[in-house]
Amino acid sequence: MAPRGSGLDWRGCALATPPGWDWPSAGCPPARPLDMASQLRLRSALALVTGAGSGIGRAVSVRLAKEGATVAACDLDRAAACETVWLLGGQGSEKVAPGGAHTAFQADVSEAGAVRRLLEQVQACFSRPPSVVVSCAGLTRDEFLLRMSEDDWDRVIAVNLKGIFLVTQAAAQALVSSGCRGSIINISSIVGKVGNVGQTNYAASKAGVIGLTQTAARELGRHGIRCNSVLPGFITTPMTQKVPQKVLDKVIGMIPMGHLGDPEGGLFM
Ligand SMILES: CCCCCCCCCCCCCC(=O)CC(=O)SCCNC(=O)CCNC(=O)[C@H](O)C(C)(C)COP(=O)(O)OP(=O)(O)OC[C@H]1O[C@@H](n2cnc3c(N)ncnc32)[C@H](O)[C@@H]1OP(=O)(O)O
Ligand SMILES: NC(=O)C1=CN([C@@H]2O[C@H](COP(=O)(O)OP(=O)(O)OC[C@H]3O[C@@H](n4cnc5c(N)ncnc54)[C@H](O)[C@@H]3O)[C@@H](O)[C@H]2O)C=CC1
């Protein structure tokens, strides 16, 4: 039994808390269930989202929850993952998530042991593997090729490419061993197809995600597991806040709509 105030529930799963919630004295935060989508297309689904603490991963989590899925929101930043789950309704969200309460998890997707433990924890919490897996965790370390450090290369490849390898493999192993069907969605980037100045590391990682996902699709289809990658363009998130304004101005000048996409509309509209 996790100690009271530890931020963990009876199963040892991370509880969702509002930002700055004071556990020891305040007890469970009030649920804030989202408006239920009329059709709840994903009412029986358990969805694992990595990078769920920000930007596209948070928007994907919100949309999956609105469609009725139970969301296991994972991020390197535990507090950010908890904030996402609180947005989804946190404890008591069973009312809108028939498959159980949305729950936050912390893991560094670039570490094999952490990913293995993540899938173990998710299955321990929900007694089943996630049938939907969306890998959004990612980062940039932009620099011109002539000046890029080995560390900048290594870290971006480790998180953006190896991280998706580890999560895709662990999720597929869990689904195959339990005889469950599933859908794995890996977030690449248009940069993986056309390249981008200052992003040899990032472009290579995203191109790798495309090839990894296409191959996984060929191998896992026989097990009833679909694998697809999504290649967004510029979306307004903390990741793109780091781009120099003069570069953003250049890019926006090339976008027919004349503005960057937003996480809510960028993937689904
Ligand atoms: C404008 C043409 C774009 C066509 C390509 C279409 C694909 C691009 C769409 C990408 C959408 C998906 C994005 C995504 O997946 C999420 C992200 O990766 S967000 C981060 C994207 N990162 C970048 O675009 C890199 C931005 N550049 C930088 O961060 C810095 O420039 C850099 C760290 C590389 C170097 O900094 P510094 O040494 O200070 O040089 P400057 O910033 O002064 O730049 C010198 C010079 O080069 C021009 N420049 C830099 N980056 C780009 C770029 N990405 N595209 C075009 N031009 C770029 C910059 O404007 C300067 O030009 P001057 O004329 O000399 O002022
Ligand atoms: N914002 C954009 O313009 C585009 C983003 N993408 C991709 O979409 C995905 C999400 O990006 P954004 O939401 O924009 O970024 P973001 O920076 O807002 O969110 C990324 C999240 O991933 C988490 N994360 C980073 N490293 C991690 C690790 N090792 N383990 C677990 N979590 C980790 C961060 O804590 C953060 O919460 C990324 O893979 C990115 O490459 C693709 C195309 C365009």
Name the active-site residue from 49, 202, 229, 263.
Answer: 202
Ligand 2 mutation target, pool 136, 206, 210, 260, most atoms within 8 A of CB: 136
**Residue nearest (by alpha carbon) to ligand 2 atom 39:** 138
Ligand 2 pocket check for 108: Cβ under 6 Å: yes
Given the CA of residue 198, which atom of ligand 1 is nearest to it?
34
Given the CA of residue 144, which atom of ligand 1 is nearest to it?
34
Put residue 251 in one of left, alpha, beta given phi > 0 → left and psi -120 to 50 → alpha.
alpha
CA of 118 to the centre of ligand 2 (A): 18
**Residue nearest (by alpha carbon) to ligand 1 atom 17:** 240
Given the CA of residue 140, which atom of ligand 1 is nearest to it?
18
pTM of the model: 0.89
Q: Which ligand sits nearest to residue 141's alpha carbon?
A: 1
Q: Which ligand sits nearest to residue 243's alpha carbon?
A: 1
Question: In a structure prediction context, what are the per-residue pLDDT tens digits for the chain, which is 269 residues long?
Answer: 455 555 555 445 555 455 555 545 554 444 444 444 446 889 889 999 999 999 999 999 999 999 999 999 999 999 999 999 999 986 555 555 667 799 999 999 999 999 999 999 999 999 999 999 999 999 999 999 999 999 999 999 999 999 999 999 999 999 999 999 999 999 999 999 999 999 999 999 999 999 999 999 999 999 999 999 999 999 999 999 999 999 999 999 999 999 999 999 744 44
DSSP track, the chain = -PPTTSSB-TTSPBPP--TT--HHHH-SPPP-PPPPPSS-TTTT-EEEEETTTSHHHHHHHHHHHHTT-EEEEEESSHHHHHHHHHHHT-TTGGGT-TT---EEEE--TT-HHHHHHHHHHHHHHHSS--SEEEE-------B-GGG--HHHHHHHHIIIIIHHHHHHHHHHHHHHHHT--EEEEEE--THHHH--TTBHHHHHHHHHHHHHHHHHHHHHGGGTEEEEEE----B-SHHHHTS-HHHHHHHHHH-TTSS-B-HHHHHH-
Q: Are 105 and 122 contacting, i.e. CB atoms less than 8 angstroms apart? A: yes
Ligand 1 pocket check for 191: Cβ under 6 Å: yes
Ligand 2 pocket check for 51: Cβ under 6 Å: yes
Ligand 1 pocket check for 196: Cβ under 6 Å: yes
**ipTM confidence:** 0.98
Which residues face 8 on adjacent strands?
Answer: 14
Q: How many CB atoms lie within 10 A of CB 250?
A: 12
Q: How many CB atoms lie within 10 A of CB 207?
A: 18
CA neighbor of 52 nearest in space, from 127, 143, 118, 126: 118
Q: Are 25 and 54 contacting, i.e. CB atoms less than 8 angstroms apart? A: no
**17 is known as an active-site residue:** no
Ligand 2 pocket check for 50: Cβ under 6 Å: yes
